[in-house]
């Protein structure tokens, strides 16, 4: 049988793969511990399908500097774990193929991301993944759709229509987060009795999407965003003096009246670190307020190293997609910690799943063809369970749904304070925060 490149032998191999990966035991990855249970014995697999080259090239684009650099570095480490795991697995299955990853750095620049995608495509690479933000994904989307290059982004969560047309060759292995982020943060403000917010936003695709969603959700819940005109700063701003001037001016009348005001730093981790540091240098009254941030702030890295005391003072609250515990997740976390001394964030973990979904979809397609792989990806995503859980896609080619964790910086550490269910919109509190 051969339908759209799917052969019976390859489908049999795929079912073995998905079952082993999905239940998260062993998945044919060698373990150093001698006491580890052996992987289940699988039927003798067929040889590699003749439609696949012996070396299957996959492009990997991650930022290693710029606003997304710290997350991108973790994503590179994760991708290397995925490359080894996938090749160990196909070898254990007896397939005469090797997945070869080609790594590129886009320095958090959407224009450079496009150049890197074009460079990879020129080498004959038809599939690319990486911890691409919404801006970077938007930068490559038109080219990808026009040239039949599959993109699987693991850090793009702005509304789909602001990034790429629904469907097509662009997939996002994380869910859209602008509304879950906003709903989680508004729940925190309501719990604390805060009715006014000074919001400052980075001039990048994702942050602008968060700005619009947050203002909508806040208004629906009786929370006012100040001032009437938006405060927006350019990406990679180094001097926040004029921005802090505007923020203090907006907050002052309400602080003087005794109203509860919060600061929403709607940017990236380097922005927040600099803003807090520069606010402290000028003894800003903003440091007496509650601060919140979206899912661009990873719990426990650059911010806590460079401005942990200040983040504690403002009791920074931020959100992050959840990643359920599993043997696969623990394996990836352990390997990355060994390699770079840090745990991977959710976006890096999602790139591990992107790599596996691509590899399995290529095997299912039976040939290195973008249209055949594109057809297989939703089928694989529906069955696959990886480092971030199940990766089923919706009709936009985005992950269907993800819940969120809510963190607060308490005593210099990020502590989990609540869980937000994106389906029921319920906030389940773990730690009740007193007024600041």
Pick the range with the lowest mean pLDDT from 25-39, 220-234, 271-285: 25-39
Whether 296 contacts 265, CB under 8 Å? no
pLDDT (tens digit per residue) in 330-347: 999 999 999 999 899 899
Contact of 318 with 292, CB cutoff 8 Å: yes
What is the DSSP code (8-state) at residue 372?
H
Outline where DSSP puts E strands in 337-395. 385-386, 389-390
DSSP of 367-400: SS-HHHHHHHHHHHHHH-EETTEE--B-TTSBBS
Give residue-wise pLDDT tens across range 68-84.
Answer: 888 889 999 999 999 99
Show the tokens assigned to 137. 């994904």
- Provide the token pair at 163: 């990034």
Separation of alpha carbons 153 and 162, rounded Å = 14
Asked if the model's pLDDT at residue 86 lies above 50, the reply is yes
pLDDT band at 11 (very low <50, low <70, confident <90, very high): low
Q: What per-residue confidence (pLDDT) applies to 299?
A: 61
Residue 229 predicted with pLDDT over 90: no
Please tell me the distance from the alpha carbon of residue 357 to that of residue 402, in angstroms, as a whole number.
Answer: 17
Report how far residue 414's alpha carbon sits from residue 436's, in angstroms, rounded to the nearest whole number: 16
The answer to whether residue 201 scores a pLDDT higher than 60 is: yes
Q: Are 295 and 318 in contact (CB under 8 A)?
A: yes
Asked if the peptide bond before residue 227 counts as cis, ω within 30 degrees of 0, the response is yes
Q: Collapsing DSSP states into helix, strand and coil, what is residue 397? A: coil
Distance between CA atoms of residues 61 and 131, nearest Å: 7
The DSSP secondary structure of 12-73, one letter per residue, reads HHHHHHHHHHHHTS-TT---S-TTSPPPPPPPPPPPPPTTS-SEEEEEEEE-SSSTTHHHHH
Look at residue 401 in the predicted model and tell me its pLDDT. Answer: 85
CA distance 4 to 7: 9
pLDDT for 236 equals 84
Structure-token match 């160990």, residue found? 88
DSSP state of 399: B
- Work out the average pLDDT over 109-124: 97
pLDDT of residue 395: 95
Q: How far apart are CA 194 and CA 228, in angstroms?
A: 18
Tell me the pLDDT tens digit for each residue of 232-278: 999 889 999 999 999 999 999 999 999 999 999 999 888 999 999 99
| pTM listed for this prediction | 0.80
CA 23 to chain centre: 23
Choice between 422 and 20, residue whose per-residue pLDDT is larger = 422
Task: Count Cα atoms within 13 angstroms, Cβ side, for 330.
Answer: 7
DSSP classification of residue 162: G
The answer to whether the beta carbons of residues 142 and 165 sit under 8 Å apart is no
Please report, for residues 279, 372, 432, the alpha-carbon distance to residue 415 in angstroms, rounded to integers and kept in the order given.
24, 44, 12
Strand 150-155 to strand 413-421: parallel, antiparallel, or no bridges (unpaired)? unpaired
pLDDT tens for residues 272-295? 999 999 999 999 999 999 999 998
Q: How many CB atoms lie within 10 A of CB 325?
A: 11
Between CA 12 and CA 95 the distance in angstroms is 12
On the question of pLDDT at 381 being above 60, the answer is yes
Contact predicate 404/180, CB 8 Å:
yes
Please state, in angstroms and as integers, the Cα–Cα distance from residue 157 to each residue in 32, 132, 135, 294, following that order: 37, 10, 10, 11
**Which residues make Cβ contacts (< 8 Å) with residue 85, sequence separation at least 6?**
27, 29, 331, 356
Distance CA 407, CA 419 (A): 9
Mean pLDDT, rounded, of the chain: 88
Q: What is the pLDDT of residue 47?
A: 52
- Relative to beta strand 127-133, strand 170-172 is unpaired
CA distance 87 to 99: 6
Sign, CA dihedral 370-375-376-378, equals: positive
Q: What are 302-330's pLDDT values in tens digits?
A: 789 899 999 999 999 999 998 889 999 99
Rounded CA-CA distance 37/389 in Å is 22
């Amino acid at each position: 049988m051969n339908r759209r490149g799917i052969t019976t032998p390859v489908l049999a191999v795929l079912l073995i793969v998905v079952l082993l990966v999905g239940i998260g035991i062993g998945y044919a990855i060698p373990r150093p511990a001698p006491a580890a249970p052996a992987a289940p014995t699988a039927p003798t697999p067929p040889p590699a399908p003749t439609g696949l080259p012996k070396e299957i090239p996959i492009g990997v684009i991650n930022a290693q500097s710029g606003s997304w650099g710290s997350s991108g570095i973790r994503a590179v480490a994760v991708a290397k774990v995925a490359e080894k795991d996938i090749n160990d697995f196909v070898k254990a299955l007896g397939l005469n193929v090797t997945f070869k990853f080609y790594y590129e750095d886009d320095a958090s620049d959407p224009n450079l991301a496009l150049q890197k995608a074009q460079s990879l495509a020129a080498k004959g690479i038809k599939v690319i993944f990486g911890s691409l933000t919404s801006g970077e994904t938007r930068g490559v989307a038109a080219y990808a759709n026009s040239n039949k290059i599959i993109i699987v982004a693991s850090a793009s969560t702005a509304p789909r229509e602001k990034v790429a047309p629904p469907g097509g060759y662009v997939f996002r292995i994380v869910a859209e987060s602008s509304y879950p982020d906003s709903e989680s943060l508004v729940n925190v403000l309501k719990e604390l009795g805060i009715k006014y917010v000074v919001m400052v936003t980075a001039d990048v695709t994702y942050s602008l999407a968060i700005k619009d969603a947050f203002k909508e959700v806040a208004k629906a819940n009786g929370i006012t965003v100040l001032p009437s005109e938006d405060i927006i700063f350019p990406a990679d701003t180094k001097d926040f003096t004029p921005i802090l001037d505007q923020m203090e001016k907006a907050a002052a009348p309400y602080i003087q009246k005794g109203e509860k005001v919060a600061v929403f730093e709607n940017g990236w981790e380097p922005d927040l670190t600099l803003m807090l540091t520069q606010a402290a240098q000028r003894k800003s009254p903003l440091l007496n307020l509650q601060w919140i941030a979206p899912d661009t702030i990873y719990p426990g890295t650059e911010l806590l190293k460079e401005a942990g005391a200040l983040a504690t003072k403002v009791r920074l609250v931020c959100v992050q997609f959840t990643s359920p515990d599993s043997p696969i997740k623990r394996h990836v976390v352990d390997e990355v910690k060994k390699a770079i001394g840090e745990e991977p964030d959710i976006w890096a973990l999602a790139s591990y799943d992107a790599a596996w979904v691509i590899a399995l979809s290529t095997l299912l397609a039976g040939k290195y063809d973008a249209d055949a792989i594109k057809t297989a990806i939703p089928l694989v995503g529906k069955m696959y369970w990886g480092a971030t859980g199940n990766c089923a896609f919706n009709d936009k080619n985005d992950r269907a749904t993800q819940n969120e964790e809510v963190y607060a910086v308490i005593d210099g550490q990020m502590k989990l304070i609540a869980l937000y269910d994106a389906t029921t919109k319920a906030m389940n509190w773990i730690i009740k925060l007193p007024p600041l």
